Structure 1
Amino acid sequence: MLFSHISDTHLGLVQYGSEERAQDVYDVFNQAIDTSIKDHVDFVIFAGDIFHVPNPNGTAIIQMANGLKRLKQNNIDTFFILGEHDISRIRTTPIPYVYHNLEFSKYIGQGIPIEYKGILLAGFDKIRKAEILQYEEKFAAIDNKVKDHSGHKILILHQGITEFNKFAGEIQSTDLPKNFTYYAMGHLHDKDVKQFSHLSGPVVYPGSIELTTSEGIKETKKGFFEVDISGKDAIPNWIELDARPQISFKTEYQDLEKTIGEISEKIVTEGKKPIVEVKIQGENIETDHIQAQIARLNSLVLRCFWRISTKQISDSSIFLDRPNVIDDEMYRLSVDALGSEQSAKFAIKELLPILATGEIKEASQLVFENFEKFKKETKS
């Protein structure tokens, strides 16, 4: 038996305000659907952040519907949970519920195990870190329910695990129920697989299907997993998607003309035009000269960004040494500025993503909820 594990599709993301980038997301999403159909998977799991915002545009809604419809037409069932990008702070029905109600897909984000073709599937929607303690009993209860099942047991979560990313981690691997044979994770955007001795199966992150704004510009592979559960062990197999290339370069200002020439030679003219970033270090920099050199790339790239860092601040510049996930660096700087890990996590990991999507009402609701929680904690 074979299933696809897809996560963080972020349908509806319009990066840089570019319609080409919006289409890029739809393209790789449909590649994942096409490949799953071609490989005759038995079912597909979507591990959260289906959409980029809780109120996605019509095109994103239709793209997801068409993908689910094509899978269903090929007798491939699908299951999903919700990530933080799917959940509105304003009390309203999440859009993905529509697919459940229309029987295009099955929602399993409430922690109730279901049996499917001899497999037990259970999932939890995104759990905020402040609520993690409330889920200890739920995790223990579900572990007890599935432990005697002889077939495969799959847990779907949209959480950051500390052993994978110490900045974005909300729980530790030891917090997870122990008896599942596969942990289908979402939330972290980099592909990763780890096997822990205290868990019965691998913990697997497919990562996002396309680079998102928070990840920066970098050379990386994007895709999803097809997982073979024909035997005792769950064996994930990586399927790479044909995403738009993104490349970041560093150069000294005096070498800029030469570097632009090297970049031009490196760019492959076939396929999608890449997104390029040029990081420039030096003194006595003339922006007109930079713009003239960057213009040489215009016909070869979709977008070209450039930024400057002087030698005096190069050792500490976050622009020259961008972390894999820029949110990590923002979080670190916020801790320094606010003097509180709790406040920094609220600002960077909860409030900022909502503000970035322009959801002012939802951001206001979140601030209000956090203030009410603060008052209760202060009184106690």
Structure 2
Amino acid sequence: MSQSGDGTRFVHFSDAHVGHRQYGVKKRRDDMYMTFRSTILDAIDEGVDFAVFSGDLFHNKDVNARALSDAENGLEEFAKEDIPVVGIQGNHDANLYKEDLNWLEYLHSRGRMILLEADLQGEGPVFEEHDFDEPGISSGYVDIDGVRIFGLQYLGQRTGDYLEDVAEAIEKVNEEEGEPEMTILLGHFGIEDHVPGMAGGISFNQLEPVEEVVDYLGLGHLHKQYSHGEWVFNPGSLESHDTREARWDHGYYIVDSNEDGFEPGFYQSKRRPFFRIEFVVDNCNTPEEFEEEFEQELDEVLPDLRSKQQAEYYKAGDGVRDPVIDLHLQGLLQFSRSQLDVDWVRDLVEKKTDALYVNISDATESKETADILQELDEGEDEVRNEDGQIDRDKLESAVFRKLAGQDSRFRDQEEEVAETMTVVKSSVLADESPESVAETIKNRRRELFPEMGGDDE
């Protein structure tokens, strides 16, 4: 029963990614189920009347038996309490190959979830009412306790093209069936400017027609918790799925609704802690100095890690959970890269932190690399990835282009010559015969420089 007086209480959560075996670690797959189930149990304890889920129930498109079992077991907790679950399809939920049913349609047909989606086959979106007696494999909208819930499945880059028509279709249903106390639209898309560096989100202008007809836009897809105005809410994923996400809030909303409006409250989901360690190698002149200073740095950050583990949402029962350590090595190596013992680093971190997994990002640069970077015509930014690390493939390509450009014969086609160098290098590393490598060079020369003469040059 609802604990919100005469109104209605519901939980909004998203992006469970059940079945994700992050880093290939079995316990990370178990984590996905644990946080999914604990969120459901917390919502039940809060006395919700229904649940809405905004996509990506599963992580892999080819859902295996274990992931399906985990999803059904979690949803069964709601079923035991007669709490309906309404959901939509995310980009991870679609089958690799369209068969008779996808897995969300299967859960819908089994009564574990009410799957909502717009019918886009005609001239405009159509929302068909859910039939509790003959549910089919999906529905368009459902009425629960005076709340009308519509669902828009993941449409990728096409989402913005449909939003105005979706708003008109919602308005049509509400006019024909009567205005509900509250209108919810579930969607699986991001909104621009809420995640730095993310392109392709829906603009606020595109959302204007939806705002006219919807009280609560319940989003999924972006794994970061955010809200916009007093009507757009994205709870984020329940777990962190990479080290960048670990810096964001993740959880779910408990929303109280009545005739005067609604009040959302955000709650952190129970999950495994991630902890970031950064170590600059500049002052380590020898491997021995590196090992000594790195161990000292570890000892200094351990109290911060232990403090973080004490947060209630990072605990399992009464105990702390082993962390995932995100280790960033950076700076200029003063000794040979071959002497940097990454295995020793990993073993030490695991021993001192009791880490479940240590994710090492080695962004260090050797003196040789630093010299090369200074000589690049376009600057070192061209060979760094979005995390600021040296991309070895980009660096190699930049060096080959520079070498080609230094020869007046090749300057006008330095890109093509650099590509040829890459192909030749790969052939040599693959132990191709000298004759085969020579033939590759001859063929590329004929293509690029037919004026240079015969095959024997």
Q: Find 2:179's aligned residue among 149, 154, 174.
A: 149
Aligned twin of 2:241:
212
Paired with 1:120 and 1:83, the residues of 2 have a C-alpha distance of 21
Paired with 2:380 and 2:231, the residues of 1 have a C-alpha distance of 38
- 1:261, CA displacement in angstroms? 1.9
Aligned twin of 1:48:
55
Paired with 2:148 and 2:55, the residues of 1 have a C-alpha distance of 19
Aligned twin of 1:257:
295
- 1:294, CA displacement in angstroms? 3.5
Following superposition of structure 1 onto structure 2, how do residues 215-230 of structure 1 map, counting pairs within 5 Å? 216=244, 218-230=246-258
5+ residue gaps, structure 2, are 1-7, 119-126, 128-139, 285-292, 310-318, 374-378, 390-457
Which residue identity lines up with residue 102 of structure 1 in the other structure? R
**Given the superposition, is the C-alpha separation of residues 224 and 118 from structure 1 closer, same or farther in structure 2, using an over 3 Å criterion?**
same
Which residue identity lines up with residue 171 of structure 1 in the other structure? I
Higher relative contact order (CA 8 A, sep 6+): 1
**Given the superposition, is the C-alpha separation of residues 228 and 266 from structure 1 closer, same or farther in structure 2, using an over 3 Å criterion?**
same
Which residue identity lines up with residue 186 of structure 2 in the other structure? I
Which residue identity lines up with residue 30 of structure 2 in the other structure? Q
Paired with 1:131 and 1:159, the residues of 2 have a C-alpha distance of 8
Q: Is the 8 A contact 1:217 1:247 kept in 2?
A: no
**Given the superposition, is the C-alpha separation of residues 35 and 131 from structure 1 closer, same or farther in structure 2, using an over 3 Å criterion?**
closer
Q: Is the 8 A contact 1:163 1:169 kept in 2?
A: no
Partner SS for 1:212: coil
Residue 114 of structure 2 is aligned to residue 106 of structure 1: yes
Paired with 1:212 and 1:243, the residues of 2 have a C-alpha distance of 11
Q: Find 1:302's aligned residue among 356, 359, 384.
A: 356
Residue 187 of structure 2 is aligned to residue 187 of structure 1: no
Partner SS for 2:327: strand
Paired with 1:131 and 1:230, the residues of 2 have a C-alpha distance of 30
Q: Find 1:272's aligned residue among 321, 331, 353.
A: 321
Q: Is the 8 A contact 2:181 2:259 kept in 1?
A: no
Paired with 2:321 and 2:142, the residues of 1 have a C-alpha distance of 42
Q: Is the 8 A contact 2:55 2:87 kept in 1?
A: yes
Paired with 2:159 and 2:254, the residues of 1 have a C-alpha distance of 31
Paired with 1:262 and 1:320, the residues of 2 have a C-alpha distance of 25
Which residue identity lines up with residue 344 of structure 2 in the other structure? A
- 1:141, CA displacement in angstroms? 2.3
Using the size of structure 1 for normalisation, the TM-score is: 0.76
5+ residue gaps, structure 1, are 196-200, 323-380
Using the size of structure 2 for normalisation, the TM-score is: 0.64
Q: Is the 8 A contact 1:113 1:142 kept in 2?
A: no
CA RMSD of aligned residues (A): 2.5
Partner SS for 2:205: helix
Paired with 1:131 and 1:242, the residues of 2 have a C-alpha distance of 31
Count of residue pairs brought into register by the alignment: 316
Paired with 1:168 and 1:227, the residues of 2 have a C-alpha distance of 30
Aligned twin of 2:16:
9
Partner SS for 2:87: strand
For each residue in 1:124-144, what CA deviation from the matched residue of structure 2 results, as whole angstroms up to 9, or x when unmatched?
100121464245323322234
Which piece of structure 1 moves more, 49-58 or 124-133? 124-133
